[in-house]
Chains A and B, each alone.
Chain A
Amino acid sequence: MRLEPKLAPSLAVTLLFPLAAIATTLVLTSMLVLVAGASPLSVFYLVAKGAAGSQFALMETLTRATPLIFTGLAIAVAFRAKLWNIGAEAQLYIGGVVTVVLGTGTLPLPSVVLIPVIMVAVMAAGALLLLGPAVLKTRFGVDEVVTTLLLNFIVLLFVSMLLEGVLKDPMGLGWPQSQKVIAEAQLPRLIQGKRLHYGFAIALVSAVLVWVVMKRTVLGYEMRAVGHNPEGARFVGILVNRTLMKTALLSGGLAALAGFSEVSGLKGNLTLDLSPGYGYTGIVVAMLAILNPLGVIASAIFVAGIFVGADAMSRAAKVPSYIADVMVATSLLSMVVAILLARFRIRWR
């Protein structure tokens, strides 16, 4: 078996392949559903209904997609430059920490000032957290996969320490949780009475801005060049290490916004279960989007929909909601194969 490169795939093919990957995912997971003793069609129907079948379901899906858009963008940006940031989870939690440090009454400012201030500080903190691994990579050749991955555990323990110590809510009945952020630091709801908040709008704007950066700016050009061929990039005068630093700052900052958006828009305070692995799921989201910032919006909503839909489904069909994890993982694998097929022609023998 050999792979022959194809000419650039047409736009139609590029759009068709993700759909084919989703179809493959449904076929593969239906086998598991059968083993669980349920009808695949009804299960998938229930998942779809649970994800988008009502206004409530749709709102819930979009709310769940919000942090995934941020972490997906963070990963897409970093992977584009081949900076393997596996530490979005840590950056997310640091974003949460900074939000509660500044947002629980420390800065008595009106909302229009306080929220931007917090956002800038949050992005700076996330950026600095990824800067360390980037410096180690460029200076000493330390593998950033290892450093960013391990930082996730370090930061989670650090947050745990803070929540048992200086950030612990004195009124929290002993639970490891922070105080609630003040009203001025809260992101308002997008629609009155629903859980969907302005974090979603900020995520959409961020995706568009990141798209503009990647496609239209000198920085995006440098990042893509470094990712595709660092030697070639260096030859034309791109400062490869400096570009990787800038990538790290942008990626870390975006991931940290996920933490800000969750605390400030949804949860109100910082707990140790702020994220059920949004930092890791962001990798799936970015890969499903083929690292395209606008595609991240669609793939984040898709992945969020599966998780939200599976919760509803498991209540109705008595199939464990773990099927959502399997579906997301299978869709990632199908997508990787689809990308391969879009770029190469397979010759048997």
Chain B
Amino acid sequence: MLPFMGEVGNLAGGDNPSPEATTLSLDGKESLPTSPLPVTAVSSKPALRLSGISKRFGPLRANEAISFELKRGEIIALLGENGAGKTTLMNILFGHYVADEGTVEAFGKPLPPGDPRAALDAGIGMVHQHFTLADNMTVQENIALGTQSLWRMRLDRAAARRRIEQLSADFGLAVEPAATVSTLSVGERQRVEILKALYREARLLILDEPTAVLTPAETDALFRTLKLLVAKGLSIIFISHKLHEVMSVSDRVLVLRSGRLVGERETGSTDRKELAALMVGQEVKPAEVNPVKRGAPLLALERVSTTPYNGAGLDQVSLTLTAGEITGLAGVAGNGQAGLAALIAGIRRPTTGSISIAGREVADWSPRAALAHGVARIPEDRHAIGSIGDMSVTENVIGERYRSPRFSRMGFLNWRAARGFAEKLITDYEVKCPSPEARMRLLSGGNMQKLILGRALDPDPTVILASQPTRGLDVGAVAYVHRMLLEARDRGAAILLISEDLEEVLALSDRVIVMSKGRLSTPSSRGERSIRQLGELMAGHDGERGDHAA
């Protein structure tokens, strides 16, 4: 058992831990209560109570009169479309934003608005989707950083290490405290993030899309950890857009739509269909896949190698994309998918090997060459590469074709046509944005992605590179993107779908290839390999990471 468990017990009376208490409990030796915490005894006051939270950004109502309670020892899932207000709500809870109306109460005490420090002190811990670790420091240093003065950190090293080991053992968060973070796998880094929160005596843990970067085995391990945590009295808010995960891990589900709380269900008494319908406001039909009609090979990579790019480089990769077929590329992040996407998008060139389009080798490969050969690109990073945040929606959507006669003549841009195109995309793709003149930066991720998708698919491309096309999107938008990709396939486009969401890959792909350490597996046709077999390939045949996580 853990020092902070005693704190949870004390807090039944509603006390906040004083700074002294925090410092004392860091000395892990003295207070290790042995009996498990009687969960029922402390659940009289809710861990969290939100009352009437509203937040507006200009005309946009991000949150509208949201109230709910989180009991102790409970996992609630927060489901919602993109732009439904999940992130805004969590930012208010964590003190990054100040709500226009409403109050937040943690463990029976009101939380002062706009004060992240107070949220931390009240025992709220957040595990962000993008990790906030210092890569060049050890696990232990990352965990202890900021909890005490640098001088004391040196003195209490042994105690801190004991405490981290204790926490790891108690919650199945296996990680070596002395390891440098840069050497860890994504799953291990996430465990460090959770340990970091536990080390700060978090009693309420918020996890923002925690499974996005995990293999299936790592996801299972994470869920076991979460169950252990709530068994010991912690409360958890689990933000996700994957319905099957929500169903398997949560006790209760809250559904947000357009800033309002539209549904609250006990997980045991609902199903995926109902939740999906609540999120979108209507029933979502899974994409229907027509039989595949293969055409000619359109894009071929021949023994291509590249330098590393956001992970492994490509190592003698050969790949042919055929008309009318979706090729799904599965793999754990960092194994060369980013490099392959960058290569096909034209922003990287092969160091060896060749690229051919429709049987003809293209020597001078570049973004322009890719576009000229009808390759549509949906990039993985919509903020850094897919869009220019400080330019308007209109300026962004004409990006790839600003030189075409449709948008410019004799070096002058046709802003009327450009604006018309932006308005068309906004309507067709149901993009929520104030106007085509709005800066791209102000749009939510999902709306940004819709515009990037529209920009890429509008010229009716022959080859489509879709890199993580639905990451962070809501159910409705995901279904929409899937339908667009399938339609393009039926029209005869050759599609490469790179995704870390194995379900997505399996649902859409006519053949599946697994990428590991910069190499491709042999392809398997629809239904040929099981999820387990694919998982083994994803972990690399030697299974070093998969075993670790399992």
Residues of A within 8 A of B (CB): 4-5, 7-8, 216-219, 221, 224-225, 228-229, 231-237, 239, 347, 349
Contacts and interface: CB of A to CB of B under 8 A. Distances in A.
A234 B367 contact: yes
Interface string B108-151: 00000011000000000000000000000000000000000000
A233 B388 contact: yes
Nearest to B441: A5
Contact of B413 (A217, A229, A235): A217
Contacts of B384: 229, 231-232
Interface in B403-434: 403, 408, 411-413, 415, 434
B412 A235 contact: no
Contact of A235 (B57, B385, B402, B403): B385
B402 to A, nearest CB: 6
Interface in B350-394: 366-368, 371, 377, 379, 384-391
A217 B411 contact: yes
Interface residues of B, number: 39
Nearest to B418: A221
Contacts of A225: 388, 391, 395, 399
Given A5-B441, A217-B411, A218-B402, A234 B114 contact: no
A229 B388 contact: yes
A10 to B, nearest CB: 11
Nearest to A212: B412
Contacts, number: 78
A218 B391 contact: no
Interface in B445-476: none
Nearest to A229: B388
A216 B385 contact: no
A232 B114 contact: no
A139 B476 CA distance: 46
Contacts of A239: 368
B217 interface: no
Contact of B386 (A216, A235, A347): A235
Interface centre among B98, B391, B400, B415 (most CB of A within 10 A): B391
A233 to B, nearest CB: 7
B442 A235 contact: no
A233 B347 CA distance: 11
Given A234-B367, A237-B371, A219 B411 contact: yes
Interface in B505-531: none
A8 B402 contact: no
Given A221-B395, A228-B388, A229-B389, A7 B411 contact: no
B19 interface: no
B410 to A, nearest CB: 9
A310 B187 CA distance: 66
Interface centre among A219, A233, A236, A349 (most CB of B within 10 A): A236
B391 A228 contact: yes
Nearest to B370: A237
B390 A228 contact: yes
B162 interface: no
7 contacts: A5-B442, A217-B413, A218-B411, A236-B402, A237-B366, A239-B368, A347-B98
Contacts of A231: 384-385
Contacts of B371: 237
A236 B398 CA distance: 9
A235 B58 contact: no
B461 to A, nearest CB: 14
Given A218-B411, A228-B388, A229-B388, A234 B347 contact: yes
A8 B388 contact: no
Contact of B442 (A4, A8, A232, A233): A8
Given A219-B411, A235-B345, 12 more contacts: A4-B97, A8-B438, A216-B415, A217-B411, A221-B395, A225-B399, A228-B390, A229-B388, A234-B347, A235-B385, A347-B114, A349-B115
